Structure 1
């Protein structure tokens, strides 16, 4: 069974060493939802997801040290995104698309959904965006493909975690370790279609 998620992934680092990955899904097998992955400077990996069902699915696909089921609220006002997820609050702004973003904008959605397209773009993605992979093996005997359709830089960020300031925007360095690949090193917001093929031993959601 193949499950598709259409939405946005925002990956960014902070000057205090915390790296953050937002998944904001307009369409998914679970309906519209958002989740946040956090890797702390000491390497602890956390997931914030809005329901037990989404938390179980995401934590069955990626690796975390702690999973928290909390409300995850995302609002978008022009180029400004505001995210509240339990003890995490962050706001970031995006800039104008570069050449790669403009090229990705012309990729049809029907093409981005095809695993064969993700396989074809895997090597160019590794060359242009070190650490990024568009296909690979995930947890629970799952396979995963990413088809990017837009890319915009993240210019500014303000974020707090458990009341502590996380600092200003910084590269995602070191890469995050939730799955087989990282987000781009340069903070970015990517429109993406993600396809997950479930392993034979795990039933899909109804």
Structure 2
């Protein structure tokens, strides 16, 4: 199902999500951002944001309520409500993604340098409102193009608190019947919202806080 994004987003209160965001580029030019959300007001779910080589931005969402939440915040040229499944093996070293036209396997490697730093910090520090400004400033220096605080499409404030990160070391993906080729950096950066994922393919563990949309 495809939606034209010209409707006013639904009213919303403060929302928190816990899970992982994987970002990877491909030799063919498609960049993929996979959200695997373990806890949210909508339950556990996964969604996939795709930017094709021509710049077309596509959301693959499993349900209408998920599509409504994501499109509150990010901009797409097309939204498809399709079966979205993201499964990790027991060791967490392989993600298998099936989402409409996208079939992908991501091999996960060791912690990045950023991941080692984050993993050593208490969650209370990385997730606290009081330290959000410091974390945002450090992220901007260490990961150019990545912002941890900003504003969604509907004006809602957003904050991402990362607490671990691993490298993505291999990608095997197809879009329909076309192979996307070997793993590449996420370049150019994706253009869904106020920030991109890191250029280096990674899986980042995050706590996301979405504030209530300002009343008009």
Q: What TM-score does the superposition give when structure 2 sets the normalisation length?
A: 0.90
Question: Is the contact made by 1:115 and 1:195 (CA closer than 8 Å) also made in structure 2?
Answer: no
Q: Within 1, Cα distance between the matches of 2:54 and 2:131?
A: 36
Aligned partner of 1:16 among 28, 36, 43: 28
Q: Within 2, Cα distance between the matches of 1:145 and 1:194?
A: 6
Question: Is the contact made by 2:145 and 2:196 (CA closer than 8 Å) also made in structure 1?
Answer: yes
Aligned partner of 2:48 among 36, 39, 51: 36
User: Which residue of the partner structure matches residue 48 of structure 1?
Assistant: 60
Give a deviation string over 1:119-174, Cα, whole Å, max 9, x none. 22112111111110010111111110000010111000000011110011000000
Aligned partner of 1:141 among 149, 155, 169: 155
Aligned partner of 1:191 among 205, 213, 216: 205
Aligned length: 202
Aligned partner of 2:113 among 99, 121, 128: 99
Question: Is the contact made by 2:32 and 2:51 (CA closer than 8 Å) also made in structure 1?
Answer: yes
Give a deviation string over 1:29-57, Cα, whole Å, max 9, x none. 11000000000000000001111001011
Q: Within 2, Cα distance between the matches of 1:42 and 1:163?
A: 18
Q: Within 1, Cα distance between the matches of 2:167 and 2:192?
A: 22
Q: Within 2, Cα distance between the matches of 1:5 and 1:112?
A: 15
Structure 1 SS opposite 2:69: helix
| Cα-Cα RMSD | 1.3
User: Which residue of the partner structure matches residue 130 of structure 1?
Assistant: 144
Aligned partner of 1:3 among 5, 15, 21: 15
Q: Within 2, Cα distance between the matches of 1:29 and 1:113?
A: 18
Q: Within 2, Cα distance between the matches of 1:9 and 1:173?
A: 17
Give a deviation string over 1:89-129, Cα, whole Å, max 9, x none. 00011111133211211333333333333322112111111
TM-superposed CA distance for 1:4, in Å, is: 0.6
5 Å-filtered alignment, 1:36-185, equals 36-77=48-89, 78=91, 79-185=93-199
Structure 2 unaligned residues grouped into runs of 5+: 1-12
Q: Within 2, Cα distance between the matches of 1:114 and 1:161?
A: 39
Structure 2 SS opposite 1:96: strand
Question: Is the contact made by 2:126 and 2:135 (CA closer than 8 Å) also made in structure 1?
Answer: no
